[in-house]
Amino acid sequence: MGWGDRDRRDRLWHRVAHAAAARPGIECIDAVAVVAADSLPMPGCEVVITARADPGSSPMNAHIIAATATWAADLDALQSAAGEGPSLSALRSGVPGVAVDARALAGQWPGLAAMTPHDYDGAIFAFPVGSHASPFATLTAYLRRPAASTPGIADLGMEVAAIAALVLSEHLSDYVHRIETDTDGDGVAIAVGILAARHHLAASDAGALLRATAFGRGQRPREVADDIIAGCCDPTDT
């Protein structure tokens, strides 16, 4: 690391500390997400950080532990339903996953593109957190409009991902409770089962339908799941 890189990382650490101190009640990993969203040269981007509670588990077992916007978190969750996407690619390979627009997304991850709301034409930049050989988390930036991939985005994204790696390496057990005490998954699983049985869908397709509906309605997946369980919502209705 050169002196310029070291100075930049020091400045980023200072911003993380300041963000954490300025927002009582938020944890360090939340501050990392906030600083990443503010620092990346993509005005208006939102950041989601996912991690595996067990670093040796499947990438499909990654869970959201920090997000700067609900719509970005819901879009990130679609990747789990699709089984593919920039974030999962970064987590599996240790190499950043990038889609500069909807066309690029369809070319690289057609399954995810098919589940993504048709009016989304934004960019996604996913950075692996941890070693290249064994990443255990991702830091993903979402933008509502296309954006070219530039060295500035890549360099700063990897710098912030390195900070996230240090925070999570030292305190991962402190964040696991977010995964273990998150009851949203139970209601979503029940709603997915209802949709799968009612419409003869595979569980992955039912899950994708639920999350796409949530994204389109501007709601969290759990809120749509509650409506499905209550019988007042059917995502297949047009």
129 within some domain: yes
Residue 174's Cα: distance from chain center in Å?
Answer: 19
Q: Please indicate, yes or no, whether residues 149 and 67 belong to a single structural domain of this protein.
A: yes
Same domain, 168 and 201: no
Which helix (H) or strand (E) segment holds residue 4: the answer is helix 3-22
Contact 77, 185 (CB under 8 A): no
Helices (H), the chain: 3-22, 28-39, 70-82, 86-93, 102-108, 110-115, 151-180, 184-199, 203-217, 221-230
Can you tell me the distance from the alpha carbon of 231 to that of 224, in angstroms, rounded to the nearest whole number?
A: 11
Does residue 211 share a domain with residue 113?
no
Phi first, then psi, for residue 124 (nearest 5°) are: -135, 125
Count of domains for the chain? 2
Give a yes or no: residue 146 inside a domain: yes
Cβ(101)–Cβ(123) below 8 Å: yes
Tell me if 237 is assigned to some domain.
Answer: no
Provide the CB-side half-sphere exposure for 24 (13 A, CA). Answer: 0
What is residue 219's predicted lDDT score, i.e. its pLDDT?
Answer: 79
Per-residue confidence (pLDDT) for residue 179, from 0 to 100? 54
Structural domain includes residue 236: no
- Answer yes or no: do 205 and 153 share one domain: no
Both 156 and 213 in one domain: the answer is: no
Cα 107 to its chain centre, rounded Å, is 20
Amino acid, res. 159? E
Judge if 148 and 206 occupy the same domain: no
- Backbone phi, then psi, for 184, in 5-degree steps? -55, -40
Identify the domain containing residue 218 by its residue range: 184-230
Sign of CA dihedral 60, 177, 212, 106: negative
Residue 4: predicted pLDDT: 52
Q: Are residues 107 and 134 in the same domain?
A: yes
pLDDT at residue number 2? 46
Ranges of the chain whose pLDDT falls below 50: 1-3, 180-183
pLDDT at 129: 94
